[in-house]
Amino acid sequence: MKVSNMLFDLSAPTEGSDEQTTSPAFLPSSGASSIYLDSIAPNGTADISIELNAKSDLLQKPYSMELSMKYEDPNATQVEGTSSISIPVKQDARFEISDFEISPQSVAVGEEANVMCSLYNLGRIKLYNVKATFEGKNIKKSEVFIGNIESGATGSIDAMLEGKKISDGPAKVTMTLSYEDESGNISTTTKDLNLEVTEKVDDDEAAASDMPEETQKSFPVIPVVIAAVVIAVVAAVVILKKRKKKQLAEIEEEELLDELERSSEDEHQ
């Protein structure tokens, strides 16, 4: 039979944590949430449509909306019915990566540098199987598995990068961050950092470079020996001069005593 004067009304669930933010999960983009249809012929169909806007803070999940129907049969008898409509809500991932902390800023071939940063999940969805991959021409490829990061949580990325090839100054290293959504779809994003790789230094050379500058210089053996010889010669000359003066003084003293003795003998005679 034919039905007429059809009125459809959509009722969205209420979402929100407090009175100020509580509101229907879906609201019409314009107008009311009711739709009027004049009639539908026996065994006929009709399409109805309405554009709804979802709240920005909805969680990623399906939401159920109630659809109520009121209409009249050919005898003008009013009939009511209800139905449910499931609307899936999808939230985009939203996150930030902090600045890199690199220690040291320069490494030799075969040595490692520690790279750390934080991943802030600012979105409304959970990030699954988060993984960071570091690649560059001058380093060995390195992967770090972070795991799952809840909405509003922070994940830590801590990697050790080993130098592989000497670079001409700071070289680019790319970190590729990959994660999955609830359906297992993989998404990626990249961020670059700079790391210098230098030539490997032998242990003996490294130890010599760590020594103070005074100890690295060779000890001046020849000048010291010459100085010692000169000092010894000077000391010997001084000693000889003192001995000669002492001998002359003794001779002069003996001659003076002899002369005094002779003078006293002459006086007695």
> 64 is in which domain, residue-wise?
3-88
Q: What is the pLDDT of residue 257?
A: 65
What are the pLDDT tens digits along the chain (269 aa)?
899 999 999 988 888 766 666 788 888 888 888 999 999 999 999 998 889 998 888 888 889 999 999 999 888 899 999 999 999 988 888 999 999 999 999 999 999 999 999 999 998 889 999 999 999 999 999 999 999 999 999 999 999 999 999 999 999 999 999 999 888 899 999 999 999 999 987 665 555 555 555 555 555 666 666 766 667 666 666 676 667 677 666 666 666 666 666 665 555 55
Asked if 120 and 184 sit in the same domain, the reply is yes
CATH number, domain at 110?
Answer: 2.60.40.10
How is residue 15 annotated by DSSP? E
Same domain, 178 and 81: no
30 within a domain of the structure (yes/no): yes
Domain count of the fold of the chain: 2
Would 140 be classed as within a structural domain? Answer: yes
The strands making up 171-180's β-sheet, listed across from edge to edge, are 106-108, 186-198, 171-180, 127-135, 142-149
Is 132 within the bounds of a domain?
yes
Place of tokens 């399409």: 47
Return the amino acid letter for 32: A
Secondary structure (DSSP) of 54-115: E-TT--SSEEEEEEEEEEE-TT--EEEEEEEEEEE------EEEPPPEEESSEEETT-EEEE
For residues 181 and 162, membership in a common domain is answered with yes
* Of 154, 167, 59, the residue nearest 107 (C-alpha): 167
d(C-alpha 6, C-alpha 70), whole Å: 6
- Classify residue 22: in a domain, yes or no: yes
Query: Is 251 part of a structural domain of the chain?
Result: no
Shared domain check, 68 and 134? no
Same domain, 120 and 84: no
Do 16 and 50 lie in one domain? The reply is yes
106 and 191 housed in the same domain = yes
Task: Please indicate, yes or no, whether residues 117 and 157 belong to a single structural domain of this protein.
Answer: yes
Using an 8 Å Cβ cutoff, are 130 and 153 in contact?
Answer: no
One domain, residues 75 and 119 = no
pLDDT at 170: 92
pLDDT of 15: 81
Measured distance CA(80)–CA(46) in Å, rounded:
18
Q: So what's the pLDDT on residue 221?
A: 62
Local structure of 201: helix, strand or coil: coil
List alpha helices for 142-220, DSSP H.
203-210, 213-216
Tokens representing 215?
């100890």
**pLDDT value for 24:** 86
Q: Are 31 and 122 part of one and the same domain?
A: no
Let me know if residue 221 belongs to a domain: no
* pTM attached to this predicted model: 0.59
Cβ–Cβ < 8 Å for 149, 126: yes
In a domain, 60, yes or no: yes
Flag whether 72 is in a domain.
yes
Q: What distances in angstroms separate CA 259 from CA 97, 195, 264, one per listed residue?
A: 112, 99, 9
Name residue 240's amino acid. L
**pLDDT for res 218:** 55
> Which of 60, 88, 116 finishes a domain?
88
pLDDT of residue 200: 85
CA–CA distance, 113 with 183 (Å, rounded to integer) = 36
Distance CA 20, CA 32 (A): 22
| Residue after which a domain boundary falls, among 61, 88, 115 | 88
CA 72 to chain centre: 68
- Look at residues 201, 230, 254 and tell me which one is the last residue of a structural domain: 201
- Do 195 and 100 fall within a single domain? yes
Residues 104 and 9 in one domain: no
